[in-house]
Amino acid sequence: MTDYWRWTALITYLTICIYDFMVVPVYYGIARMGLDLADYMAHIQAIEDPMVQLEYLKKLVSQHEPFTLKGGGLFHLSFGALLTGSAIGKKGK
């Protein structure tokens, strides 16, 4: 019964990675494909503030940045240490 937390941590980590590196980028690309460029540019031109226009243009050409890689990938280092430590600790028993 005490080994269930290892599997729970592993499944949680894999779910987060699949979501962050596969599901969100695919959705990001599909959502951008459905964008009508002429309407988007007309909307940008209707905005008077150039800084707001710039932010809208950044959204048009930006790419998905994985959430778990922000902060230098500390999330992956932490989960790696947790899962590695639990595997080494289990091997010693």
Q: Is 63 helix (H, G, I), strand (E, B) or coil?
A: coil
Range of the domain at 61: 4-91
- pTM (whole model) above 0.75: no
Structurally, the chain folds into a number of domains equal to 1
Q: Check if the beta carbon of residue 33 is closer than 8 Å to that of residue 26.
A: no
Q: Name residue, tokens 């959705």.
A: 27
Structure tokens at 33: 């494909």
Q: CA 7, 8, 9, 10 torsion: positive or negative?
A: positive
Q: What is the pLDDT of residue 89?
A: 66
Q: What is the pLDDT of residue 30?
A: 85
Q: Is 57 helix (H, G, I), strand (E, B) or coil?
A: helix
> Could you say which residues of the chain have pLDDT below 70?
1-2, 89-93
Instruction: Return the half-sphere exposure (C-beta side, CA atoms, 13 A cut-off) of residue 58.
Output: 6
Q: Is 93 helix (H, G, I), strand (E, B) or coil?
A: coil
